[in-house]
Amino acid sequence: MTDNQREYETIFILDPTLEDTKVNEEVERAGGVIRDQGGTIGDIEKWGRRRLAYEIGKRRDGVYTLIRYHAPGDTVRELERRLRLNESVLRVLTVVVDPRHKEMLAQMAAAPPAAAGEEGAPGGHGDEDESPRRRSRRDRDNDD
């Protein structure tokens, strides 16, 4: 990866009427654009057919694909241009991956959270720093 490249994630939704071979061709075509423009593909996740949140062009389902890659900004522009011209593509979204976000995810994965019920865990019943329960006025008056 060179200095002018950043990490991106592009997700696109394909027409649900496409056959699996056509879906694979479209994914390979997108990967080819990235490679031809000088980018490197890190990961391709095919999420498959899923229900859309709202209708797009009278379609209720779509075939979702996520591509993670490193590339210069011109590559992203060209990839999105080609995907938007493709009639099989319903929607496209590209985001820049924030390196701080990746660090945070790595830290969270390294330190597993405490299970509920353990001391120090939220909702746990440990004796550490437990503040007394608030009592109603009626309960306090009855103590006298």
User: How far is residue 66's CA from residue 11's CA, in Å, rounded to a whole number?
Assistant: 4
135 compared with 103, residue with greater pLDDT: 103
Q: What are the backbone dihedrals phi and psi of residue 87, each rounded to the nearest 5 degrees, phi first?
A: -70, -15
pLDDT for res 103: 78
pLDDT digits 0-9 by tens, 63-110: 999 999 999 989 999 999 999 999 999 999 999 988 887 777 778 888
pLDDT digits 0-9 by tens, 106-126: 788 888 766 555 555 555 555
The CATH number given to 6-98 is: 3.30.70.60
5 band by pLDDT with thresholds 50, 70 and 90: confident
Q: How many helices (H) and strands (E) does the chain have?
A: 4, 4
* Contact (CB, 8 A) for 15 and 90: yes
pLDDT for res 8: 94
CB burial class (10 A; 0-12, 13-18, 19+) of residue 139?
exposed
- Kind plus residue range of the DSSP H or E element containing 95: strand 89-96
**Could you tell me which of 41, 102, 94, 36 has the C-alpha nearest to residue 69?**
41
User: How far is residue 109's CA from residue 61's CA, in Å, rounded to a whole number?
Assistant: 33
Q: What is the pTM of this model?
A: 0.69
15 band by pLDDT with thresholds 50, 70 and 90: very high
